[in-house]
Structure 1
């Protein structure tokens, strides 16, 4: 069961890292640019940390789930946003909301691993606590940007 769970989270981390990178690139020149770039780098490092945890536990990545997650992120770009070929404020808001949800899911994954770490002695409790703290910080950063973007949506 843990292997399936970790693979599901790894698939989510794959699409989340791609989304974070794209969002950071789309905002590189605005007020959120540097913060989003930092969060995107952290999200990529979190994916790497999850992959290392899987390695330590002997869990092989399910390639089909990784490909499906990657494709889902690409197809997610096709949603209507109030503009035909350009980005709108709604695009930014929806992307930030998706990142917030992804980070909350990641935090839940770290909490789950903390809950079972005593059953898997190779899991590093302190590292998991650090990853969870980083997820909380990422959520706070993203939620602040999301709230500011939502407020600007009406103007």
Structure 2
């Protein structure tokens, strides 16, 4: 009975991650689109592709474990991600530099969650023959690399949004 409960919980857990991955892929694609033509465009496009591939890896893991993918959860998160685009960010007619900061922070949180998920699966891989520990370590390493890149991009976005050149453009900061 315990194993059946454990498998049920694993199915719920993986489907929750799959749903979050749908939102993460949408957000990553939006970030990539917002940076087309920039110096970082190629890196960010590759990041978005990797995040989509990680979602595919999660689907493959569900299949290897014989667990169903619950698409309704992914649809709900995808819808929420689209609704999250409707935010006031200080710019009505053009993209605000604050959008980059907020989106990169949200994407960082998504990748942190994904990384935790890979670690959880690694922790139970000895009890689940459908899990490939080497593949999970590869996915974990890719998540770490994604986090490094996201931190570099976030730091640059913070400087762009709140740096000295912004103060000069707006006539200085009030004190």
TM bracket (short chain): over 0.9
Equivalent position of 1:143 in the other structure: 151
Equivalent position to 1:56, from 50, 64, 73: 64
User: Which structure's CA Rg is the greater one?
Assistant: 2
Using the size of structure 2 for normalisation, the TM-score is 0.87
Matches within 5 A, 1:1-155: 1-154=9-162, 155=166
Equivalent position of 2:172 in the other structure: none
Using the size of structure 1 for normalisation, the TM-score is 0.97
Rounded to whole Å, the distance in 2 between the matches of 1:86 and 1:59 is 44
The structure with the greater share of residues assigned to helix is 1
Report the alpha carbon displacement of residue 36 of structure 1 after superposing the two structures with TM: 0.5
Report the alpha carbon displacement of residue 85 of structure 1 after superposing the two structures with TM: 3.2
Per-residue Cα deviation, 1:106-139 (whole angstroms, up to 9, x for no partner):
0000000000001101210000000000000001
What value does the CA root-mean-square deviation take over the aligned residues?
0.8
Q: Give SS of 1:47's match.
A: helix
Rounded to whole Å, the distance in 1 between the matches of 2:24 and 2:52 is 8
Q: Give SS of 1:77's match.
A: coil
Q: Give SS of 2:126's match.
A: helix
Report the alpha carbon displacement of residue 151 of structure 1 after superposing the two structures with TM: 1.4
Structure 1: stretches of 5+ with no match in the other structure: none
Per-residue Cα deviation, 1:67-118 (whole angstroms, up to 9, x for no partner):
1011011011011110113211001111111111100000000000000001
Q: Give SS of 1:12's match.
A: helix
